[in-house]
Amino acid sequence: MSFQWGIVGTGVIANEMAAALHASGREIYGVTSGREEQAQAFAEKYNVEQVFATFEELVADDTVDIVYIATPHNLHAQMIRQALLADKHVFCEKAITVNDRQLEECVALAKERNLVLSDGVTLFHMPLYKELRRIVASGKLGAVKMVQVNFGSCKEYDVNNRFFSKELAGGALLDIGVYAASFTRFFMTAKPNVVLTTANYFETGVDETSGILLKNEVGEMAVIALTMRAKQPKRGVIACEKGFIEISNYPRAEKATITYTESGQVETITSGETDKALQYEIQDMEEYITNQSGEENLTMIRDVMGTLTSIRSQWGLVYPFE
């Protein structure tokens, strides 16, 4: 079965998704954007069949099967709800919503209408992570004890940019922190039930740097370090009783190393291709629809958003529209 995709937004990640859809042999049925001239240019570039003047017109079209949302975070929840009410499956860029209340409302609506809801956290869809989960589950490394993960970007400081805008749900946590929180949740056997954290803030009120400590009911722990005005390596480590896994550039990784504690032996694990990260997202999304699956992925997404919401609650960071 082939699916007709409708794209909402024409920014950098929307262009990446359009290119991935073409590379996967899919056609893009429709696009819409806040600026019609940008939507027209996007349509010409990617041979999109329909340009819609509004989001409402796109989701109302019966030909559209899957709505891909690539707009600022503050618009996600409203757009997801509208698409679901129009009986469309939804693949939304991260962060899927800005808090767990919004997400749970969307999840309930998707379940009620028997629709698939997923998000653009690439690592959930990368073949490498599926292989690493199999290795950890096999017990050959023993129990997971600690997960450590960093993500630091150095955004040019511009108070008018969405990354620094409180009105647009800016800040490090929802932009890059969602990757780090997703990494930790992927390797923990249960969601965190203890969250300790502190942060520094920009003059706009959004988070700039933060340290986060997580623990779950079985005692597995995670440490996260985020920075938005200082580069860090995108590095994750999963420390187990009999060895540790190390992954560099982890959001779209194709390679990891396992160092065995007793022997010091280093094993390299490779699976998938970094350049095909969004193609794996497309493949998984369509399989979720075809096989009526995806519940495990959605559970991960919900757990991550619960953690992000708890973190912001401790900081006392509330966006104006919440």
Q: Look at residue 206 in the predicted model and tell me its pLDDT.
A: 96
Give 68-92 as a 3 state SS string: EECCCHHHHHHHHHHHHHCCCEEEE
Element holding 150 (H helix, E strand) = strand 144-154
Mean pLDDT is lowest, of 43-52, 121-130, 149-158, 173-182, for 149-158
The yes-or-no verdict on residue 304 having pLDDT over 80 is yes
- How do residues 222-261 score in pLDDT, each as one tens digit? 999 999 999 999 999 999 999 999 999 999 999 999 999 9
Q: How far apart are CA 30 and CA 7, in angstroms?
A: 6
Question: What's the mean per-residue pLDDT of the chain?
Answer: 97
Nearest to 242 by CA among 262, 227, 226, 228: 262
Mean pLDDT, residues 135-153: 97
Q: How confident is the model at residue 161 (pLDDT cuts 50, 70, 90)?
A: confident
The string of pLDDT tens digits covering residues 65-117 is 999 999 999 999 999 999 999 999 999 999 999 999 999 999 999 999 999 99
Asked if pLDDT for residue 27 goes beyond 80, the answer is: yes
C-alpha distances (whole Å) from 204 to each of 166, 169, 313, 318 are: 7, 11, 18, 12
pLDDT at site 57: 98
Amino acid 1: pLDDT? 76
Place of tokens 């920075």: 227
> Is residue 6 very low, low, confident or very high in pLDDT (cuts 50, 70, 90)?
very high
Name the pTM for this structure: 0.96
Give residue-wise pLDDT tens across range 187-207: 999 999 999 999 999 999 999
Name the residue with tokens 């991960």.
Answer: 300
Q: Is the pLDDT of residue 210 over 80?
A: yes
**In 3-state terms, what secondary structure has residue 270?**
strand
* Percent of the chain clearing pLDDT 90 (strictly above): 96
- Residue 71 contacts residue 79 (beta carbons within 8 Å): yes
How large a percentage of the chain has pLDDT more than 70?
Answer: 100
Residue among 227, 176, 238 at smallest CA distance from 201: 227
pLDDT at 159: 79
Q: What is the pLDDT, as a whole number, of residue 247?
A: 98
Rounded CA separation 149/188 (Å): 13
Residues labelled as active-site residues: 94
- The predicted pLDDT at position 52 comes to 98
Q: What is the pLDDT of residue 79?
A: 98
- Residue pair 129/137 in contact (Cβ under 8 Å)? The answer is no
Mean of the pLDDT values across residues 112-138? Answer: 98
In contact, 204 and 120? CB cutoff 8 Å: no
CA angle 213-219-220, nearest 5°? 60
For 61, 108, 142, 147, 296, the CA distances from 139, given in Å and listed in that order, are 49, 35, 5, 16, 21
* Cβ–Cβ under 8 Å, residues 246 and 259: yes
CB atoms within 10 A of CB 138: 8
Mean pLDDT along residues 303-310: 98
Residue 17, H or E segment? helix 12-23
Residue 219: φ, ψ to 5°: 90, 0
Q: Which two tokens stand for residue 18?
A: 């359009």
Q: What per-residue confidence (pLDDT) applies to 240?
A: 98
Strand partners, 310: none
User: pLDDT band at residue 167, thresholds of 50, 70 and 90?
Assistant: very high
Report the pLDDT value the prediction gives residue 53, as an integer from 0 to 100: 96
Name all domains of the chain by residue range, CATH numbers in brackets: 5-121 (3.40.50.720), 123-315 (3.30.360.10)
Mean pLDDT of 3-10: 98
Is the per-residue pLDDT at 120 higher than 90?
Answer: yes
Q: Look at the alpha carbons of 215, 123, 233, 167 in this order and tell me if their dihedral is positive or negative.
A: negative
Contact 154, 230 (CB under 8 A): yes
The Cα–Cα gap between 215 and 164 comes to: 29
Position 160 scores a pLDDT of: 81
Q: What is the dihedral of CA 183, 209, 240, 185, to 10 degrees?
A: -30
Q: Is the pLDDT of residue 158 over 90?
A: no
